[in-house]
Amino acid sequence: MIKKISIGIIVLLILIQFIPYEKNESSASEFDVSKSYNVPDNVSMILKGACNDCHTNSTIYPWYSYIEPVGLFLNRHITEGKGHLNFSEFTNRPLAWQNHKFEETIEMVEEKEMPLESYTFFGLHPEANLTDQDRKVLIDWAKDQMAMLAATYPADSLVMKRRTPPAQ
Please tell me the distance from the alpha carbon of residue 23 to that of residue 30, in angstroms, as a whole number.
19
Give dist(CA 17, CA 14) in Å, integer.
Answer: 5
| Apex 70 CA angle, 67 and 73, nearest 5 | 145
Q: Does 43 bind ligand HEC (CB under 6 A)?
A: no
| Cβ-based nearer residue to ligand HEC, 27 or 127 | 127
Residues 10-39 binding ligand HEC (CB under 6 A) are: none
Choose the stretch contacting ligand HEC; rule: CB under 6 A; options: 13-21, 59-67, 107-115, 160-168: 107-115
Is the Cβ of residue 18 or residue 122 nearer to ligand HEC in the bound state? 122
* Interacting positions 55-94 with ligand HEC (CB under 6 A): 55, 77, 80-81, 84-85
User: Site for ligand HEC (CB under 6 A): which residue of 116, 139, 143, 148?
Assistant: 116
d(CA 125, CA 146): 29
By CB under 6 A, is residue 146 in contact with ligand HEC? no
The region that residue 32 occupies, defined by phi over 0 for left and psi between -120 and 50 for alpha, beta otherwise, is beta
Distance, in Å, from the CA atom of 99 to the CA atom of 116, rounded to the nearest integer, reads 22
- List residues binding ligand HEC (CB under 6 A): 50-51, 53-55, 77, 80-81, 84-85, 101, 104-105, 108-109, 114-116, 119
